[in-house]
Amino acid sequence: MSANRKLSIRNLLSLTLAALMLATNVASAQNRSITGSVTGSKNEPLAGVNIVIRGTTTGVMTDMDGKYSIPIQSNDAVLVFTYIGYGQEEVTVGNQSSINVALAEDAQNLDEVVVIGYGSTTKKEITGSVASVKSEDFNTGAFNSPIGMVQGKVAGLNIINPNGSDPQGSYEIILRGTNTLTAGAQPLIIVDGVEGADLKNVNFQEVESIDVLKDGSAAAIYGTRGSNGVIIITTKRARSGVTNVEFSGILSAQVAPRMVKNLSADEFRNAINTYTPSKSGNIYVGNTDWFDEVTRDVPVSQNYNISVSGGSEKFSHHSALGIEQNQGLLKDNNLNKVLIKTNILQNLFNNKLVLDYNLIYGKRKYNPANYDIFAQAFLHNPTEPVYDPANVESGGYMHVNAIEYYNPVAMINERTREGRTVDMTANAKATLNITDGLQWSNFIGYESSDWEENDYKSHYYPSALGSNGVAEVGNGYWDKITFQSIFSFKKYIENHNIQAIAGYSYLDEMTNSSWMLNSNFDLDRYLYNNIGQGAALKEGRASMSSSREESKLISFFTRAMYNFDEKYLLSGSLRYEGSSRFGDNHRWGLFPAISGGWRMSREAFMEDISWLSELKLRVGYGVTGNQEFPNYRQLVLLKSDQKFYSEGKWISTYAPSSNPNPDLRWEKKQEFNVGVDFSVLKNRLSGSIDYYIRRSSDLLNEFQVPSPPYLYSTMYANVGTIENQGVELMVNAVAVQKANFAWTTTLTASHNSNKLIKFSADNMQGSKYWTGWLWGEIATNCQVIEEGQSLGTFYGPAWLGIDEFGNDKFKGQKPDGKVPQEKWEEIGNAYPDVVLGWSNNFQYKNWNLSFALRASIGGEVLNTYRLYYENWGALGVKNIVASQLDNPNFTGNALYSSKYLEDASFLKMDNISLGYKFNFEQKYINSMRIYLTAQNVFCITGYKGVDPEVGLSGLAPGIDPRSYYPYTTNISLGLNLVF
């Protein structure tokens, strides 16, 4: 019998039973109403309380005086009273004619558990700047990384996807601005207690919460790895109870790809004939859409996850299997993934000992994307045919000899690339409950990753013609051992609450890799599977390399938290840490933090403010470090140098390839944060405001030094100071709360300003450095790193327009039409002024609609496609951007200037989702939800390129690269089943 037929029969029986009950009670219950009033914890009348007869859609709301009247049809009716900020009450009517209810305040929101460093606390006790996002508030859809689920949800957390729709792409994560020059810039990722976890091994459908430690006082407990903040991800864990089986399936399709707009074949012919007739020899008979030739029509992806959980109080488990099959927009670009996760929780000796076991196995097989194919598809002549059977030397492909000009179809067909990665994480945690409130936990974990990538370019690969096939094989292995031992203590003494931890951490990390290359093969059949057959090996033209490196990190840490009467809060932490990456003179560092909070709303003088639910002031200061830079930079490294002949044999010599630096130390960040948490109108409106100022000193950078006296021409040392300061706002609101309809909304806003305070050292040559190199025919830097300026500052000629001869006019230009670099001026900055996020969720009965918007205001982006290809001089062998047709009077050559710097402001709809939940009362199915989601729906911007949201990390942010992966809109159909 079908499910729909069962539902119909059940509904018919329910209606019949209801009719019989109504007939027996109609005489006594007809026209009967219940009246009453509803008050709050301070005996004040509550207006807008929802009163619903359970199991029906009949409902009313209290008036301004807290009074109500509701008709009933049965003495068995149950009235359900709900109001934002208060606990739910249920009352059976019986023979009563008047029912008055006093609702108690619901402290659940303030008692919500938030994960912090090496433990957890409640939201009301937090004194640092910490943001927590639960699963019900995540963005919906399909994600290649769980961090996408909180994009736009946390103020100050800027999550950018610079890799378009590449299934192997990863997000760029920046928290409160750029704090470094060359060291790691992304936050520390912790997954279920595993520090430095790889997000690619986290199934987004298994995530329960994501907590972000934003300020120094919250992140200092992680010492040299907390400088850029900490993101703690908690996945579904073992819980006791009946066996529960969940299934989730998502089928996705990519549509509406966005590409750089170039000239079509007809536009190309017309443009040459009209503006550059001397180049008519570049017109062929073809009508080729190169973008269409290298892309799939509708890439389809599948994502499935099944989990099983249950058990008793003594033994419980949660296991999940995730399978993904992802097609990229680019042909022959795929990613297939399998993730297996198991968590077992065991209680022994009457809960005196708790054992927590975790095992994760992940396997990825992939065909990487060559982003340069899209660049070649853009600049390729659309009148060229794809194939030229007469051209035997190129394998029958159309081939034109030009610099950096290759047939993109041949680049796909004549190259085979594949890779695989096997990851494993195994850890166990034993917690001993020594006494009431005192615990001792020991955690030991092992992580490993085994990878291999193979690449073969055939005899006809465009950029390798004449090489007779080129094979590359690379592989490597990485592992990490972690041990932690932590004592934790909690004690409640009347109005005093004390929490403390003290622990030790040891981390040992090792990486090795090898690579080989050979060419000149007799045939392409072997691909990379018989690399020794290439003749280049015998001719001494093959290449080979290998490497191995290891690092250790040892830490001692402690934290104490105290609050009095849940009103006055104080927290302090200290970490003493040593890293093998630092010089002998600075191997160990001390990282303190202190923060306090005052819950003003609990003071007697604020008791009469009925509309105020919570008001807390927070102040914090913390010191963190940054050790995320390559190993062995503090040592003298050697490289192979010249050989000389002596006594009948050749002798190799070695020369320094780096300078020793025993004073190399961690980058140090000092951060002050002040914030306010508030909740008003019975928790219908809540949020937080934070102001921070963070100064990072001893920034690491490599610079030129004289040799001699130095051993080598560059030095890696601590040379700079950078400052970020900003404001963050987050507001949550229950805009509408009705019996059958609810609307909740969240707004985030952040502003950050960046300034390089110092960028020099005694042995440095100058304090101003050019960066942002533009390759090819432009051949210049476009940004400056200079004391007193922000990173990401563009310098160049100021464009004034076009003269009567069709050439660019610049401020201060010389007779030759150019501006000397020493006369260049500041023309823009890559960083936005304000970043906004707005999320909404609508609930009507069993229907759910959600959408999320995100906006960036201010900042500039360099449009390199316009810079290189918005001129008639580039037209001919290569294609140009279609925007040149809007400015046909420009006849000059490509020159870097403010002309190509565009406003990066945008408004995006990241996702929109519509779902319906079926509730079953059957033996096998508990619930079912079906939903339809669209991601990356639209982008409103004045930017003329593909997308104004380009990478903002590193020393040259805000440059839209010529090699890119297009964006698409992703449409997903999802199904969730609970058995």
Cα–Cα distance measured from residue 823 to residue 729, given in angstroms and rounded to the nearest whole number: 40
- Residue 921: predicted pLDDT: 61
- Mean pLDDT across the stretch 339-359? 93
Which DSSP state fits 276? Answer: -
Confirm if 566 and 122 have CB atoms less than 8 A apart.
no
10 pLDDT more than 50: no
* pLDDT value of position 762: 59
Give the C-alpha separation, 516 to 415, whole Å.
17
% of the chain exceeding 70 in pLDDT: 95
Segment holding 518, helix H or strand E:
strand 496-519
Classify residue 383 by burial, with Cβ atoms within 10 Å: 0-12, 13-18, 19+.
buried
CA atoms of 618 and 595, how far apart (whole Å)? 7
Query: What confidence tens digit (pLDDT) does each residue in 292-339 have?
Result: 999 999 999 999 999 999 988 899 999 999 999 999 999 999 999 999
- Check the CA dihedral 843-848-851-852 and report its sign: positive
pLDDT band at 817 (very low <50, low <70, confident <90, very high): confident
pTM score, whole prediction:
0.88
pLDDT surpasses 50 at 170: yes
β-pairing verdict for 207-213 and 130-134:
antiparallel
Give the mean pLDDT of 442-452: 96
CA dihedral 453, 963, 948, 871 (to 10 degrees): 180
Amino acid at 359: L
Report DSSP letters for 574-621, one per residue: EEEEEETTS-GGG-EEEEEEEEEEEEGGGSGGGTT-TTEEEEEEEEEE
| pLDDT value at 871 more than 70 | yes
Residue at 139: amino acid letter: N
In whole angstroms, how far apart are CA 444 and each of 361, 486, 551, 557, 738? Answer: 17, 12, 18, 17, 50
Reply yes or no on whether the pLDDT at 193 is more than 70. yes
Residue-level pLDDT at 375 = 95
Across-strand partners of 652? 643
DSSP string, 678-716: EEETTTTEEEEEEEEEEEEEEEEEEEE--TTTSSSSEEE
Q: What is the mean pLDDT of the chain?
A: 90
Tokens of 517: 């290359």
**Apex 917 CA angle, 913 and 921, nearest 5:** 170
Q: What is the Rg, in whole angstroms, of the alpha carbon atoms belonging to the chain?
A: 32
Q: What are phi and psi of 762, to 5 degrees?
A: -60, -35
Residue 740 DSSP class? S
Backbone angles phi, psi at 294, to 5 degrees: -105, 0
Contact by Cβ (8 Å): 678, 614: yes
| Range with the poorest average pLDDT among 78-87, 456-465, 893-902 | 78-87
- Count other C-beta atoms under 10 Å from residue 100's C-beta: 12
Decide: helix, strand or coil at residue 547: strand
Cis peptide leading into residue 630 (ω within 30°): no
Q: What are phi and psi of 823, to 5 degrees?
A: -100, 0
CA distance 475 to 166: 22
Stretch 410-426: mean pLDDT, rounded? 97
The whole-number pLDDT of residue 30 equals 45
Alpha helix ranges (H) inside 298-436: 372-379, 408-413
Percent of the chain predicted with pLDDT > 90 = 73
Catalogue the E-assigned strands of 845-926: 847-857, 860-863, 901-903, 906-919
CA atoms within 13 A on the CB side of 904: 25
Q: How far is CA 482 from CA 287, 447, 485, 669, 671, in A?
A: 59, 9, 10, 25, 28
Q: What residues does 318 pair with on adjacent strands?
A: 309, 343
pLDDT for 81 equals 87
Range in 32-46, 249-263, 323-337, 813-827 with the lowest mean pLDDT: 32-46
**Residue 260 and residue 881 in contact, taking contact as beta carbons nearer than 8 Å:** yes
